[in-house]
Every structure is written in structure tokens, then in C-alpha cells.
Structure 1
């Protein structure tokens, strides 16, 4: 994959690509905005997954029974992953044409409104079949917002960051995702800890959704105070913006879009099995106490955050490719061993299995922000990066939790581990094909990648 590359002079006021990050104190403000905004967005997105595992089968699908209700609940959870690529195209279009900041404000508003309405939703016992239908509609809105969120949050950091530290500064969006997992499970943990099971099912599950209102207000205040990125502003002034970024991305870099999606699959596959499905598996199949499982899910959120930082720092030193290759290689082996280990059924084993899964995911995820930013041209970077990320989320984040229960019931945990390992193997192959990206400047006409 070889294209011509044009070097340009950094815009006035933009970070010097070769300078150390310490000389750019404004990066702390940008990184904080990226981190907090993503925490809020993916807290909203993530609490639905926890609720889908713990309470939605009884609240919205009581007539189906426990097993079928769980499958239906995760199906509504998975709908958002189908919506995410459309959200990346929609918000990516405006992010590439009007600016990263405006698009990110819109994604946060949409996510916040949809999440608060979920918390207000009448149950199936009150309005019948209308309840799950409305839940699906709101989940689609969450998916659209999530599809537009990640790329914009990453670009906010990467397009401000000095070249030599781009991996570190670009990881704050993913770091926020780990924080969101911890916060979402902490909210449910506290709710279940101070409520009886009946009270939690009756109305306690609504508290985490309604609490999103305060978080959204904080997030909007932060994002309104951040300037547009210098890379986007220079591109808009000098060459103009793309009329249809989606078509331009597929005209110039169609293969890179697909390979990038394959590369980031490993993080999604492990994150949504570890952070979502294992909550259901631990409580329903292993019959572990709910508070213990949620506590381990919080530890998992901390583990993925630690992995993200480590993966990002290593990617600045050794390159994006080799960090992802190493994490994906370990993930293939771990995926095959995970469920046989968990089926021992002890708390100690679960306390190892879930956090280790999330830590490996974090290492693979750490370089992704820089990797996706570096791979695509500014004119359609928001759209292309977001679409790659969202396609991976749909295939590797939405599908495995949906099929896990039926595959494990029919063929056993090792069979599902083989499927999980297959996702990790796809990432390993794709990143080897794409090659290294850390040598690229973000201000260039086209992308050059060498395997």
C-alpha cells in the first residue's frame, strides 16, 4: 500500500511534531476533555450492557423466560452496534466538514437524551410490547451517538499532539472508555448493595440512567470550552473540506478502512466479553453473588485502563504494529483458555479471568487512537477512522455477547473460545498487512503505509 506523501509546515500555534509533550501544557486540557467526554459517553453506552445482563430480561422480556429473555436482552444491546457504523458516517460527515468540536457536542447531546429516556421507560408490565420496541429505538440512538463519538474524541487529542508522543496523548479517549466501565459497574454495585433484589428490579436499575443527566451537563461544559484542532483548521483554510467524506475515503483508502477495522477487532472482542457478557455468565451460569461479579467488573475497568496506558506508551517507543501484534498473539491463546478456566467456578478464578481479559484488551486498544489517526487523511479522517472503529465494534463487540450463551450451551465454553480466538487472529493478520504508522505526520496529502 503505497501513496505519495506531502510534508507540510505545522500551522501557527500548533504543536511542533518533533517537540516533547512537556512543552505543550495545552495538551493536558485537550486530553482531559477527551477523557472526561468519553467517560460520559461510554458510561451512558455501557450501563445499558450491565442492565441487559442483570435486569432487562425480567423488566422488558418477562414473557420469554430467563434464557430466552437474556438472549432478547442482549439482542437489543447488540442493535446499537449495528447503528454505530451509520453514526460514524453521519457524525463523521459533519466532523470532517464543520469541525470535530461541533460533531462531538452533537454526539453527547444525543447520547444523553437517549440514556435519560431509557431510565424513564415504562416496563413491559405497564405498556406491553411497546416497551421493548421503544427500548430498541433508544438503543439505536445510543448507537448512532457512540459511532460518532470515538473518532472525534481521538482526533481532538491526536491532532493537537506532538508526533513523538502521539500514542500517549491519543490514548485518553480509550482510557476514558475504561473509566466508563468502572463507573458504570460502580453505579450498579452501589445500587444493588443498598437495595434489595426486588427494589433493584422494580426501580433501582433506573438510577444509573437518570444520573447521566448530571454527567452530560459536565461533559457539554467541558467540550464547549475547547478550541477546534489546528490540523483541521489548517486543512479547511488551505485545501477546503470534503463535500462527501465517506465517498472520498472509499475512493482513496478503501482497503485501509477494512484492514483498520480488522486490526481493532481484538480489543472489542475481549472488552465486550469481559465487560458485559461475563457479568451475566458469572451471575447466571457460575451463580456467583451479584455484588462480587460487579466488583470484579470494576476491577476489570481498572485493568483495561492500565493496559491502555501501557499499550500507548509502548507504541510510542516500539511502534503501533508490534504492540498490537503482541497483544493479539497473547489474546489468541487466552481466548482458548478463558472459559475452561472460568468453569472451575471459584471466585478466585473469576477474579483472575475477567481482569486479565480486560488487561490484554487494554494493551491492544492503547495504540488504536494514534494508529487510526495516522492511517487516514485529514479531509476524511473523522469519517474513515470512525467507520473502521464502528465496523469492528459491530462485528467483534456486538456479535460475540449475542451468540455466547447459545454457543456455550450447545457446544461448550471451549467452542466459544475458538470463535473469540478467531477474532483475535483476524486482528493479528490485518495489522501485519497494514504495517507501521507512527512515522507519519497528520498533515499530508495522502497516506503511505509499509508492511
Structure 2
């Protein structure tokens, strides 16, 4: 009987890991995403008052990017932690730190109350947010991949990405009633704080949800056989440095979300640009696009199990990058229906081909002993590179510029091309079993050493 119970529990664990990844990612990315909305809508006035609206906007969006500065450091530290001590521990730790730091943002005094100390504290808390979130998706997707049965890794892992989109919806939706029903003065004075204070839910939910998932068999096997490296990040670059580089390049596809959601919000709503699209209307755009994304992500995850990861990783960024020109043009024209339509197509559909697939693909590219570190470092270096793009975009195409769609569209396309090329240069992993994925890097290293000896001879 006990064996039957154990077997039944093992069959339930992949679904439980997927659900844990979904809920945890939703809560943690809610925390991270509400900052993006606040940085575009209210932080320029609350924390960065300036005689120049453009300067205030650039400073506010730069604090959004500061969160990505800490992400590579968080990836190195938390990735090492996850590969040395287990996937489960890193998930609880990351969620707790994120929840507390976000709660404190909602309690910060404004520039008018304490002067320059206010933006300094804001930047410090944003750095802590970035450090914490760096370990979330790497740990969650590793947990799912290592629990998932063969042929379903892409589908089950996609739920952690579906959770990130759900968190983004909650973040945007939390501001909609506040910006709609509160007066501008009330929203600026205290209304913006409510979404941050609600993050206390993360602290409670994190302890409950993540305590119910067992550590993965793959990690337990590594620990039992004493194959856990002392310094996973050193072993990662020694064995898989080229893979890290390609994964970072693939991660540049995140420029699509930056262009559509973050810079798009500022371009559409900030008075300095003169588009004058209503903030309450524009807040609905990422909500609708993310609802479409939530529906399609499991479909794209399952599709990647059938046709492979690389086709989706290539086609999604390329097509979205090309259409970014049209999206920015209709935003600048204050054409709300076409803006919504193109946002859904670019961010809700095409980008999600990549987004639904990259987590399983990145996890499969690295062996168990450095899997969390490899994923976290690659993902977060890429996010660091794209995190400052909103402020860079604003500096390159500032308010008053007549070439915003052309300039920003071209930059978006260049990053998308780099991502697609790196995916094309990577090996397909969808049809390989988990133990076969462990063998491929070792076989490649032996082949490279053999070629080197042949050339020397």
C-alpha cells in the first residue's frame, strides 16, 4: 500500500510543481511589475520632481532599470544556492525577500516629505527586488522540468511563464480602478501605494504554496552521489560558457515587452510626448494582451514539445520585432483601436511563442548540477541588458522628436534579430530525455578535445 501511495504521489508531483510555479511566479511578478506601471504613471511626480518633464521621466524609468542591475548578482548568488541546496529552498527565500521589499516601497515617504532621501530609498528597494526575483523563474522552471515526464516538459514548464503574465495582469489591473475613480491628486498622494501594500499576500502565500512541493529527484540524485559542485557558477562557465552566451543573446527578445508595455505606456500617456492617450485606457492594453497570452502560453508550450523549441524561439521575436514599427506609429497617432489590436498581436501572441518556450529550452541546455545557475545567470544578464532600454529609448527619441516609431522600432528589430540568430545556432532539446540532456555537453566536450588533439598532431 505504501508503494502505491508513493507512486500516486510521484504522479501528482509534476502537476503540483507546475501549479506551485504558476502561483509563485504570478505573485512574485505582480510585485515586480507594479513598479513598471508606477514608474511610468506616478513616480516622475512623486519621487523625481523636475522643471523638465523629460528629465523626470528618464529618471523614473531609470529606477525601473535599476531593478535589473541587481538581477545578475541575484542570479549568481541565488543560482548557486539553488544548485547547492535545492530548488525548493531558493523558491521560498526569493518570494519572502521580494514580498517584504515591495511592501516597503508602498510605505516610502515622497520627495516632498524627505527630499532626496526618498528616491535613494526607492532605488535601494528596487535593487533588493531585482536581487530576489532573479532566483524565482530559474528555481520554479527547474523544479518543473526535473519533475516533468518525457514529452511534457515544454507544456508543464509553460505554466510558470503563464504565472508571470498573470502577475502582470494583476499589476496593471490593480492600478485601473485607482486611476479611474480617484482624483489625480488622491491617486498621486496615496492611491498608488495600495498595489504595493497588497504584496503582504506574497509573504503569507509563499510559505503555504512552496512548502507542499518535494525536492526534485534529479537534484536528490546529484546530492546523494556527491556530484553537487562546490561553486556551481565556476563550473557553469568552465563547462557551458558558450551556452550561456547564446542564452543571453536569446534573452534579448525581452525587448518586445519593454517596447510594447513599458516604453509604450510612457510614450502614450506622458504629457511631454503629446500623444495624450488616457492612462486609464492605456492600462487596459497590457491587461488584454496578457489575457490572450495566458490562453496561448500552454498551447505554445505543448507545440514546442511536438515541433521543437527552436522554431518558436526564432519566429516569435522576428515577427514581433518587424511589427514594432507599426505599433509605435499607431500609438503616436493616438489610434486606440489599432494600438490595442497590435499590442495583442505583438505581445499577446508573437512574443508569447518565445516566452512560453524559453524556460524549458534554457533549462534543457544546462546539466542538473548547474541548471538553476545557468538559467538564472543567462536570463538575468539578458534582462539587465534590456532593463535600461526604456530610459535609453527616451533619451534617444525624447519628447518632441518626430522619429520615435522609426528609431525605437529599428532598435527593437535589431535586438530581435540577435535573439533569433542565437536560437538558430543552438541545439534542439525537445526530443531528448532528461538523462540524455546530461550526456550531450559531456559528449560535445570529448569531441572538442579530440578535435584539438587531432589539430595538434
Report the TM-score, using the length of structure 2 for normalisation: 0.90
1:184 paired with 2:171, answer yes
- Aligned residue for 1:164, secondary structure, equals coil
**Deviation string, structure 1 residues 62-98 (Cα, Å, up to 9, x no partner):** 1353211110001011011111111011101110000
- Say whether 1:337 aligns with 2:326: yes
Residue 356 (structure 2) aligns with: 366
In structure 2, what is the equivalent of residue 261 of structure 1? Answer: 248
- Aligned pairs, how many? 430
1:74 partnered with 2:61: yes
Task: Name which one, 1 or 2, has greater alpha-carbon Rg.
Answer: 2
Q: Find the aligned partners of 1:118 and 1:332 in 2 and give their Cα distance.
A: 34
Corresponding residue of 1:40: 27
Cα distance in structure 1, aligned partners of 2:434 and 2:100: 34
Query: 5 Å matches for 1:6-405?
Result: 24-266=11-253, 268-284=254-270, 285=273, 286-359=275-348, 360-396=350-386, 398-405=387-394
CA distance in 2, matches of 1:355, 1:408: 24
Q: 1:431 deviation in Å?
A: 0.6
1:423 equivalent to 2:415? Answer: yes
User: Contact 1:180–1:301 (CA<8 Å) still a contact in 2?
Assistant: no
Cα distance in 2 for residues equivalent to 1:246 and 1:316: 29
Bigger mean CA offset, 305-314 vs 440-449: 440-449
* Cα distance in 2, alignment partners of residues 281 and 80 from structure 1: 21
8 Å contact from structure 1 (residues 342, 353) kept in 2: no
The C-alpha deviation readout for 1:103-147, integer Å capped at 9, x for no partner, is: 111111110111000000000001100110111000000000111
Q: How far 1:363 moved relative to its partner?
A: 1.3
Consecutive unaligned residues in structure 2, runs of 5 or more: 445-457
> What TM-score, normalized to structure 1?
0.91
Query: How far 1:335 moved relative to its partner?
Result: 2.4
Where does the alignment leave 5 or more consecutive residues of structure 1 unmatched? 1-11, 16-22
Instruction: Label 1:349 to 1:85 Cα distance change in 2 as closer, same or farther (>3 A).
Output: same
SS at match of 1:418: helix
Quickly say closer, same or farther: Cα 1:206–1:304, change in 2 above 3 A.
Answer: same
1:9 corresponds to:
none
Task: Please report how far the alpha carbon of residue 281 of structure 1 lies from its aligned counterpart in structure 2 after TM superposition.
Answer: 1.9
Deviates more, 1:351-360 or 1:134-143: 351-360
Residue pair 1:329, 1:428 contacting (<8 A) in 2 also: yes
Does structure 1 conserve the Cα–Cα contact (< 8 Å) formed by 2:96 and 2:206? no
1:384-407 residue CA offsets vs partner (Å, 9 max, x unmatched):
1111110111112x1321222222
Alpha-carbon distance in 2 for matches of 1:332, 1:261: 18
The superposition leaves residues 167-203 of structure 1 with CA deviations (integer Å, 9 ceiling, x where unpaired) of: 0001111111110110001100122223111100000
Q: What's the secondary structure of 1:367's corresponding residue?
A: helix
